[in-house]
A and B are shown apart, each in its own frame.
Chain A
């Protein structure tokens, strides 16, 4: 058994963690505002969640219970690696169960089960600047945020409707936080946007490559941008989860064979398992007792 002595607790040195915590505090104080921070090299490539990992490393304590999801699943490479990383460098308890976790680091999803008081959701963010698509100059986008000039954001939505007849943006759908800053909710599906609104959990966003941290404190207004005659709507799936029969959840398409066979299943694997454990069965599922 190796000792943890080779690593500082949670990998980052204490000075760095203090620096990141200061950025987080500022982000919490100014909801939706992108706070610059001095992002560190992490033992994983950019794009693997270096921003989220640094945020998690700065807030995690020995008594925390960590859950990591990638596209809703606990068992993909990214999720497994990050969980293993913190299990090793912080020796914290890990879990796949949403309700048991105190910190949930996520890439691309918000768990289906509503988060509660005391829970922290840490998002891995690739591009934090929602205005980047139309205005490449960072000096200009900062000014636009400062002066609340957000007309450009609607230009993007206008383009969507003009081209597709509806707002076709389905992920990274821009939101306005507490009536002030427009924010990119990271590439989560717009299905999850309503979960951000007035959530009891603290939501932290870390962009490692872009050196930015931002936050949505608990019980904060988060409104998805839209037009009066094209209001914001979330995706609806015509069929329920094939395994657990859940409706009004976000589904992934799973290809079953080479002949076009496919099924839709919960993207949130923990939620699906939970339901099946409670006896719910979908059209293609089998009751859990029978499977075992």
Chain B
């Protein structure tokens, strides 16, 4: 059963602050991701890779098309779902490692990582235990665990973000440049973790600029330039 399928998706931005200029982003996007597969969105900057990822996670609305996700054995169209449904999809079925961590004041790195489990009703101590394992594996110095990540370096924040995204067993996981600011050691850790997710049957959809990482993890590459809009009005 296809874990994630995107059909005829199109998206434009209307910039009202710039006299209503319409910026076409993508058109007729069609692809699917099967369980246990890592699909990478390819193409130059500005081709709409991040926009597609954000549409699939619900951060961007869509103008047309469907985004079908397997949710508790049912196919749900996220493109037309109400906010409440999108939130349950995010809680149970679709995870997201964003490029930048959105920090919350005063919440420790450990709790930032544990939160997705806690929201799903996992006991707090157990969730923190899982968070510790992941942070240790990603080589985040233990002295940082109890601190809020706001003051961390880019690489440290990214590792917190990765741990937060990987802690759950969401059947669909979106990855937006998870290795961009990591050193070789940690890149290797992330590549290994992606491999494990695949082995668990998770459907992964990602953006990787790093050729080497992409080659290691990608089962298929979708060329996003194929979805470039025809010259619009």
Taking the complex as a whole, does A directly touch B, i.e. does some CB pair lie under 8 Å apart? no
